[in-house]
Amino acid sequence: MERRTLVEFITAWVLILIGALTMILPIFSIISVKNVFIVIIALYGIIHLIKNFLILNFKEYSGFSTSLSSLVVLITLFFIDIKDHPLNLALILFIWIILMSLTKLKESDYYHDHKNKLWLLNLVNLILFILTGILTTINLYCTPDIQILILGFFFLINGILDLMDPLAAYIMEKKK
């Protein structure tokens, strides 16, 4: 397995783990939605920044733009109250989904420009990411423990979608 594929594979599994751990937080009575969301977005940005530095020689900067998107949302989270207003949580998550969709679209375009067949998989992942994000933002109007479950489920699905790219790259690499 080439280095880039391995780094993306490990990153995706870490994101899946973060989503799964987020889903079990309400069991331990951790229901501060703002704190959980801040930690998730910060970890997401840090992980992708590390991923960007590990595969820097491939001249693909999706990890950096993902980190910038997460930073924008983190800054926004410190100024907007999401504890008492679930609409603000949905709005901030929707902003992050829009920024991430632009990053994923650029990544798909990068693969298409380099005649890599993974562009179609990235396009399907983008569509699924947007649909999952819209469904998540629509369902954030419940109690804090349910909001955390929904956020955990969203980030679990996001990790699974991120896992598809390195798996497909590994399968294509094995066929050569």
From first to last of its 176 residues, the chain has per-residue pLDDT tens of: 788 889 999 999 999 999 999 999 999 998 899 999 999 999 999 999 998 888 876 667 788 899 999 999 999 998 998 887 888 999 999 999 999 999 999 888 888 888 888 888 989 999 999 999 999 999 888 888 999 999 999 999 999 999 998 999 889 888 87
What span, in angstroms and rounded, lies between the C-alpha atoms of 21 and 149?
10
119 three-state secondary structure: helix
As given in the structure block, the two tokens for residue 69 are 């998107």
What span, in angstroms and rounded, lies between the C-alpha atoms of 18 and 23?
9
pLDDT computed for residue 59 by the predictor: 67
20: amino acid identity, one letter? A
pLDDT computed for residue 57 by the predictor: 65
Which residues does 31 contact at the CB level (< 8 Å), separation at least 6?
Answer: 25, 143, 144, 145, 148
